[in-house]
Amino acid sequence: MRILVLHGPNLNLLGSREPGLYGSHSLAEINAELSQRALLLGVELTCYQSNHEGALVDRIQQASGEADGILINAGAYTHTSIALRDALLAVALPYVELHLSNVHAREEFRQTSYLADRALGVICGFGVASYYLALEAVVGHLKAKNQ
């Protein structure tokens, strides 16, 4: 089983960017911890981060035939990108939307997602654990689907 993890804009600054809101883990630490958890689940993980919407679209399109599911923290693109939505729908891979912070307890514009209605689910507000919960959710879905 292969899972693609996508990190959107500004997530490369994790650990130093508003740690009171996003936590003190760097993106490298999150990827390393997530990879360890994936190994325990018998899952191959590929992590990718970009600040550029088109690069994320390209990576989603490349996932067709390479991945069985996607975890996506699209950052600010969650609230603005029809292109990411269209790419996710085009590859037709199951995905989980996730966020470190509770977007529903923040500014009103962050409460709109162009991805959520077609996602398996949305996990937010649990800091770095949001990634772990999302991984377990997509793996559980894929295992149940393959039974």
Mark the binding-site residues for substrate, compressed into ranges: 73, 79, 86, 100-101, 110
Q: Identify whether 7 is a catalytic site residue.
A: no
Q: Known catalytic residue: 99? A: yes
Q: Which of 25, 95, 99, 114 is catalytic?
A: 99
Q: Which residue do the tokens 């981060």 mark?
A: 49
Beta bridge partners of 77: none
Considering 7, 22, 95, 132, which one is annotated as catalytic? Answer: 22
129-134's contacts with Cβ under 8 Å and 24+ in sequence apart are 130/73, 130/98, 130/99, 130/100, 131/5, 131/30, 131/33, 131/34, 131/71, 131/73, 131/98, 132/33, 132/34, 132/37, 133/98, 134/71, 134/96, 134/98
Which residues contribute to the annotated binding site? 73, 79, 86, 100-101, 110
Q: Which of 20, 66, 117 is nearest to 6 (CA)?
A: 66
Catalytic machinery residues: 22, 99
